[in-house]
Structure 1
């Protein structure tokens, strides 16, 4: 990887890091600026010099982006480079917890589809085995805002009843199921119009082909995300090991910087 074959300090140019991933040298500098990479060492003339620690950081960050997205990937790397391993691991744990919740919701919806399609012309709704939720309670359950739920209602995804006296929205068991399905598909990048069609199909048990296709696609996405998390974890573990091996107070490999104008050792 980048020609690093011994424990001797090898200095790398921004181009060397960028070339491995097919990105620009400006992107490498931006990642350093944003805290995703450790601060580069500088030659007396001000040129950046990177080491295998920076190369490992870049591999880790790009793998994290594939698994967790830009925001969380950046959060994890900034925490590590600031010496806060606990904060980085907490962000990783949140990502795994979200993936587990998505799998659970997907399985629940899949079971509902199987039930609804088990016989021709069957229209079933979950039993009303719990008290209805207010809009605030449902928003907290899903981790969204009440405004989001009102928007879903406005486009026809949700159809809550209104309390006769107060006029407040009341979300029964079937409404909660519809909201959970909408939330799942929204995170999968589906437009509201498509989600409305899918939810209406499962609500009426009429023509579930689009629903089944959407769920199959989302399951593939979840699997890909899980595999990406495995890859990111392996790269992150290697990076943490390099940080742990670095001398106290120094997050880049020690040694004199190369003479300005000389080629980087790669």
Structure 2
């Protein structure tokens, strides 16, 4: 088989095949007397495995998995695969915890009373006051200001936003993602954005799970071919 034969199946360029070969994605390649690379069905399956693994693990982890297998270090490859499943399982648990917390917040009675100061809100959330100032810089919180003193004042909406931000941060969400979610919540004018957010998160988890399964199937086929005499 020629590079173009492997490339055609996946809509790749022949240069991409050569790059993957040089990177260690494919097993050792024989060359013709004229220096052209000769590929076999084993190389074709290695490429299928890599491309499938990449969808679930990402480019660099998939590359490391294939390199490990091609140098005979299957233990390292299995460890990388196991780590990906552990990480996904942890994120799935986090999503459940965040969903429970956010749903509880949306169902709870909204905060009422006089606006809170930075210190009062920080104590309510059990965070440092500097955290609230950081959230403000990132566009997550938009406190009002006392006209006389200039001090920040957190009314019901700001308190709700801060409580949601705390849960999302506990779930490991980056500040920029929290800010986008809060903006979406304001634009939606209610909890519809919350449901959309949680549904999208669940869909991403499900999609990655399917990609990991598909990658494992193609990798198993490659390992089977490697073990054949």
The normalised TM-score by structure 1 is 0.63
- 1:242 is displaced (CA, Å) by 1.5
- Whose RCO is larger (CA < 8 A, sep 6+)? 1
Structure 2 residue corresponding to 1:50, chosen from 35, 39, 60:
39
Structure 1 residue corresponding to 2:77, chosen from 88, 93, 99:
88
User: How far, CA to CA, are the matches of 1:26 and 1:197 in structure 2?
Assistant: 39
User: How far, CA to CA, are the matches of 2:198 and 2:225 in structure 1?
Assistant: 41
Matched, 1:180 2:163: no
User: How far, CA to CA, are the matches of 1:217 and 1:78 in structure 2?
Assistant: 33
Matched, 1:223 2:206: yes
User: How far, CA to CA, are the matches of 1:103 and 1:195 in structure 2?
Assistant: 18
Structure 1 residue corresponding to 2:22, chosen from 14, 33, 36:
33
Matched, 1:117 2:117: no
- 1:65 is displaced (CA, Å) by 0.7
Change (3 A) 1:75 1:198: same
- 1:82 is displaced (CA, Å) by 1.1
Change (3 A) 1:177 1:244: same
Counterpart in the other structure of 2:158: none
Structure 1 unmatched ranges of 5 or more: 1-11, 136-149, 159-172, 247-266
Higher helix share: 2
Counterpart in the other structure of 2:152: none
C-alpha contact 1:178 1:199 (8 A) present in aligned 2 = no
Structure 2 unmatched ranges of 5 or more: 112-122, 142-162
- 1:199 is displaced (CA, Å) by 5.4
- 1:180 is displaced (CA, Å) by 2.7
The normalised TM-score by structure 2 is 0.73
- How many residues are treated as equivalent by the alignment? 197
Counterpart in the other structure of 1:235: 218
Q: What's the RMSD between the two structures over aligned residues?
A: 3.5
C-alpha contact 1:42 1:48 (8 A) present in aligned 2 = yes
- 1:211 is displaced (CA, Å) by 2.6
- SS of the aligned residue for 2:107 comes to coil
Matched, 1:13 2:2: yes
